[in-house]
Structure 1
Amino acid sequence: MNIQQAAANNTLNTMTYLKYYLPPAFTLFLAMVWEYAFTISTFIQEEKEEYHVVADKAKGLPDGRIKKKLLRVALPSFLTYTTYNFIDMLMNLLVVELVFSVPGLGYLLVASFKVIHKGPDGIYLLYRPQLIFFVSFVILFLYTINSILMEGLYIYWIQGPRGGSDMGKKLIAGGIIIAAYLIFALISPLLVNENAIKNWNSRMYWADYSSLAPPEWINLFGENLPTTENLSSVKIGPDTYRMEYNFKYSQFPLNLKIKFISQPEGNIIVNMTTPDGRTYTLYNGPAKELDFGGDAT
């Protein structure tokens, strides 16, 4: 019986998860043990070729003492390797959770962003930013704890009591980073369009926006790209309307869309006049909603 069968039979409990989740997780752990053993062996072999080891042998130091020194010298590289590979190990566990349907961080991460097919209407995206925040925060927190432990081991074995002050400074720096992350997460809902978040999965809400347009905040980093604007028309003749667009950007807009409040009858002509007086006909045909791409404008 697997987890899915247990859930179907209403016999799912903690022991079921442990029975089917621990074996693959333990297999991943064993694979990492062999990798770690090979890595630290490589570090030590490389360190044996250094001049200080040759000098210790020339001095007649016992082999046991030289091996202890080699372990101590190779420890910083090993701790750095552990810190860098922590996220990799955590991702492996998330994959195990997903494959075996164990409700954990991997399950929440996949559930935060899904592609939903709804018949002929196309594809809808289901996005839950709260789940992504929770998963990323837990991963960041675990990574911070791992970094603190690795740094503590380094100070204990290498620097001794003298490294206590450095450890305190690094803990303060880590606390500031986590605090900044939490503050940003708390104030971010106040900086976004709440209506846009509520209508994230609504196809009609985003119909007037270009699907390939970058976000407006990219202009904060030195870009000068056009933003989405709604232009109002002014009647200047019996059947003539004008819309003015103040172009002040480095690139043309990706789309120019024309919609009607009430559907007109017959044909329409859409002309574009540039500041230097040149006029281009963009459309001449039956009245309908129009969407001109960036190349046309």
Structure 2
Amino acid sequence: MIDVGLPEDETVPELTRSFAACVASVTETPIAEVPQPRADLPGAISHWRSWLAGRGAGLVTLAKPASFNWPGYWLAVLGTPRPSASPDATVVLMFGTPAGVVLSPQDPSLLGRAATDLPVREGYVVCGLDPAFIAPTTPLPHLSGTVAAIALAERATGDMATVDHAMAHANRGLDGDRYAAKAGTFTPASDTARGYDLTLIESEALDSLTLPDGRTLGYGEARRNVVTRGIDLNALVGRRFRVGSVECLGQRLCEPCSHLERLTTKGTLRGLIHRGGLRADVLTDGEISTGDTIETID
């Protein structure tokens, strides 16, 4: 996403301008290139659908926006159940599971607010028309880094304690951590769900994160098990790698969410989008220590 403010053309309804700003942000398109029709929101949406179709994308209306849940971006119209042109309506951009506001052109004070705490009455997703995956055509590079810190919490929402060593168990996680004990906030009901054993985050992402109040986020505060240095974690999705002697498989990005923002401070959700780290499966038993090498093995 890119940061986009509320366009100033007052001949266009404010709600339409706000929606256009959110579309510009999520598509990373200059706001001047996004249509801003002089129409109310229902009329403007047909314009955006045509514009997006010409770029290989669509705008999907959510059937149950108040309960919608997925780890990507989506647009929400907030307000009481009235016509979309009602003066109390606000458009925001949501992100994360659970979702929180990451852009609010009309009311910046809503940034970081959880979707569950807001009156979501409409929802839309911008998505590609062709979901085909493109396989890499060149050999994957060898990647390596080191363990900068290890952090554990015995219970959901409990404080994270940094340790020098932790024992990892295949298909479970780290001794002393809530997810190994099946007691994490997002611990799945099914044992077949993947990506809950181990979470990692780059120290570079945390070191460069400056929050609105001027403070930074401590390594333990990030609520990830392993803080890394010198390795691109986003590039480990779908790859096997080793942390010390422990083999792991990168499952998906560990994107930030409104729950993380609630446990930390304002700005964490937006500041860590696509930099929130990696979720991985633990494939073998072994000990992980600070200073250990992290490297790809496929």
TM-score normalised by structure 2 residue count: 0.17
Q: Which structure carries more relative contact order (alpha carbon 8 Å, separation 6+)?
A: 2
More strand by share: 2
More helix by share: 1
TM-score normalised by structure 1 residue count: 0.17
Q: Which has the larger radius of gyration?
A: 1
